[in-house]
Amino acid sequence: MTPWPITDVVPHADEMILLDDIEQVESERIVCTRTIRHGDMFMEADGSLPSWVGVELMAQAIAAWAGCCARAEQRPVQLGFLLGTRHYACNVDTFPAGTRLHIEAARSFHDEQGMGVFHCRIEAPGIHAEARLNVYSPPDADAFFKHESKETPHG
The number of distinct structural domains making up the chain is 1
Which residues pair with residue 84 across a beta bridge?
134
**Least confident span in 28-32, 58-62, 76-80:** 76-80
Q: Does residue 87 lie in a domain region?
A: yes
Q: What is the pLDDT of residues 15-50, one digit of tens each?
A: 889 999 999 999 999 999 999 998 888 999 999 999
Give 143's pLDDT tier (boundaries 50, 70, 90).
Answer: low
- 39-42: which pairs have CB atoms within 8 A and are 24 or more residues apart? 41/15, 41/16, 42/18
Q: Which residue intervals of the chain are DSSP H helices? A: 6-9, 54-72, 141-151
Range of the domain at 14: 6-151
Contact between residue 2 and residue 71 where contact means Cβ atoms under 8 Å apart: yes
DSSP string, 71-89: HHTT------EEEE-S-EE
pLDDT of residue 138: 83
The mean pLDDT of 79-107, rounded to a whole number, is: 95
Tell me the average pLDDT of the chain: 90
Contact between residue 32 and residue 60 where contact means Cβ atoms under 8 Å apart: yes
Q: Does residue 1 lie in a domain region?
A: no
Q: What is the pLDDT of residues 45-57, one digit of tens each?
A: 999 999 999 999 9
pLDDT of residue 97: 95
Pairing of strands 100-110, 94-95: unpaired
Query: What CATH number is attached to the domain comprising 23?
Result: 3.10.129.10
Residue 114 is classified by DSSP as S
Q: Does residue 109 lie in a domain region?
A: yes
Least Cα distance to 44 among 96, 101, 6 occurs for 96
Give 63's pLDDT tier (boundaries 50, 70, 90).
Answer: very high
Question: 42: left (phi > 0), else alpha (psi -120 to 50), else beta?
Answer: left
Pairing of strands 94-95, 29-35: unpaired
pLDDT of residue 148: 60
User: Global pTM?
Assistant: 0.89
End-to-end Cα, the chain, rounded Å: 46
